[in-house]
Structure formats: structure tokens, C-alpha cells
Amino acid sequence: MPQHLHGDSGVDVGASPDRFDNIEQARTFCRDFFTWYNIQHRHSGIAWHTPYNVHQGHAGIVHAVRAEVLTVAYQRHPERFVRKHPEPAVLPAAVWINPPAQEQDDQQIHSKNP
């Protein structure tokens, strides 16, 4: 039975079959899924940006636009923001799925062949 994939927002991004009937079906599914995941889906670990925007260097512009929108919202309705002036999430300096071991980092720093 296929399982539906849901993003953080709960939006259904399609059915993930238990198995594919052929390589073309697998390629089509992966192409569609990875396009959504990398270009449309906003990730909490990268300050609600898409991987595409981060890798293409657009995160700074998106951050500035978000800050401007939040400032306008605060100016129009400060009562909605009881704690403080809202600010967009800060993009982390680095994000890892599997961070390298510390000693591996030290070896790479001192290696002649990076």
C-alpha cells in the first residue's frame, strides 16, 4: 500500500509506492519528489528557506524581504506581537545531516591534499 508523504506543513506531496513497476516510474517519482523537496519545501533547519535558495545565494535577499514584511506587520498591528518586534529566523552557518568527526576536520586542515 502506498504511503503518502507529508511535509512539515502537512501538505500531501504524493504517494510513495511500496515498490516501483519499472525504472521509469522510479525516475518520475524521484524527479517530482526531489524537485518539490529542494525547490518548494521550506526547511526548518535552514531558517525556513528552500535548499535551492540557500545554494543559489538567494537566502540573504529572502531574509531581507521577510524582515521588511515583519516590520510592516509590526507597525500596523503591534498588539499582535506581545513579546517583541518579530524577526525572521537566522540562517545557520552550517547544516549537516552527518557532521564530520572533529579529528577528521583537524586532519583536513593540516593536510596538503584537501
- 33-53 tens-digit pLDDT: 999 999 999 999 999 999 999
SS3 5: strand
**Could you tell me how many residues make up the chain?**
114
Q: What is the mean pLDDT of residues 94-104?
A: 80
pLDDT tier for residue 8 given thresholds of 50, 70 and 90: very low
Give the pLDDT confidence of 14-26 residue by residue, as tens digits.
678 889 999 999 9
Q: Are 108 and 114 in contact (CB under 8 A)?
A: yes
